Structure 1
Amino acid sequence: MKRIFLTGLRPPDIILPPDFALHHWSTIQIEFFEPSGSLQIQKPGYLFFLSQNGVLAFYLQQEKILPHLDDVEIWAVGKVTARAIQELFNIEAKVPIKQNAVGLTESFSNQEKKPALLITAEKARQEFLNFLKQNKWEFQRISLYRTILRNDLRWQQINFKHSDIILFTSPSAVSGFLQNRSFRKNERIPKIIAIGSSTALAVNEKLGIEPIIADEPNIDLIFKQIKTLGD
C-alpha cells in the first residue's frame, strides 16, 4: 500500500486506486482579517486571485473593497481558485496556460496595461508582484488572510517508508511540517513532491532534500505523476 501524506488545507476531491492510502494531515491553517485600508487605485481593470483562500477572503470583505465587479477582468491561478470564483460570484475567471505565478507573468507580458488589484496573503509570493513593479503597472495589493503553522501529533508518531509520498503545497506547509518533526538520523526518507519552485526551494533549504517538482497546483495531474513513481 502506497501512502500519500497531504500537508495542504483541504483534501482533494479525487478517487485513488485501491493500492493508495490518502492521509490529510494539514500543517497550516488560515486566519482571515479585514483590509487595513481602502481601495487606492482607480477602478481596477484586472482583479487577480492567486489562491482559493484569497477568493474566500475577498468574498467576506467584498463590500468594503470592491462591491461591483462589472467591467473587471478576473484572473485566477489554479483550477480550484477558478472554481471558487465560479461558485461564489458566478463568474468564469480567466486562467493562465501554466497554472502558477510564472504562467501568469507570461500571460501578461503583452496584455494591455490597466489598473490591477491583487488579493493576497499577508506574506505573498513575489514573482508576479515583481513583474508588475518592473513593468510599471498601476496596481494595489490587498492582504486579507495569513497562514498559521499547525501542530499535529500524528507527524511525530509516524514511521515513514521509502514508498511513502509527502506532498507540500507551499513554503508555509514545509515550515509547518518542520514545526512538528524533522527526519531522524538513519530514518527512511519518503519521496517529496513540491508544488511550485518556491515550495521546492523551501524543501531543499529546510529539509535538505531535492524534491520532485509539480509545476502546477492541478491535483489531477499531480496524482497522475504520483502513480508513475516506483517504490
Structure 2
Amino acid sequence: MRPAPITVLIVEDEPLIAEAHRAYLSRLPGFTAAAVVHTARDAMRTASEAATSEHPIDLVLLDIGLPDASGIALASALSGLRPAPDIIAITSERDLEMVRAAVSHGALAYLLKPFTFAAFRDRLERYRRYRDALPSGTDAASQAEVDRALAELRVSADRSAAPKGAAPATTDGIARVVRDSAEGLTADEVAKLVGVSRVTAWRYLERLADDGTVTRQADYGGTGRPKTRYQWRRAE
C-alpha cells in the first residue's frame, strides 16, 4: 500500500515566490500542498484547524519575514500544536542569530533564498528520510533511531545540493540576480553583475537551466547570432 503523501503548508508573504514553492513541491512525488498562505495569522489558523482534523499538517515551509508577525514567534506557536508540524525555515536572512533562533524555536532545517530546485528537492528528500528513519506511532525511539533520523537532515560539504564543481555561494549569487530581473539576463550581463567571467556565468546558468530553475530564451534584439537570455522560472 502506498504511504499517504506528506502534507505541506506553504507560508510565504510574496505571492509569486509562494507559487514558485508550490510549483517546486508539485514536482516531488510523495508531497502535497495542503494550502498556501501569506500571513502568520492565516498560517496559525490553517495549521490549528488541520490539527483537529483527520489530515494534520506534516510540514510547514515557513518564511521568516512575514508582514504581520515574527516568523520565529510563529514557529514557536506551531510547535505548541498537537500534533505539531515539522518546520523548514525559509528566508533571505544571512544573520547567524536568525538561524539559531529559527532552530531553537522548532525549525528542523533552513533554506536561504533564492535557492534552486535542486536545493529545495535535497531538503525535502532529506526530510522524508528523516521521517522514515523514525519508528511509527508515539512510543519513544531508541538513541540509535534518533541519531540515524537526525543524520538524514544534515548536509555535509561533500554532499551538498550544488552540482559537482559548483560553488554554492556563486550559484546563490547568480540565482539571485536572475530572479530579481524581470526581463531575464544574458551570461554577459550576469557576469558583470556577479563579478565572474562570462564562461563561469554561462556554466552556472546552464546548470540552473538544466535543473529547471531558470528558462532559456533566444534574444534576437541585436545583430549577429542571437544571445541566450535566462529568466527565472515562475509558477505556471
Q: TM-score range by the shorter chain?
A: 0.3 to 0.5
| Larger RCO: 1 or 2 (CA < 8 Å, sep 6+) | 1
Calculate the TM-score normalised by the size of structure 1.
0.36
More helix by share: 2
Q: TM-score, normalised by structure 2?
A: 0.35
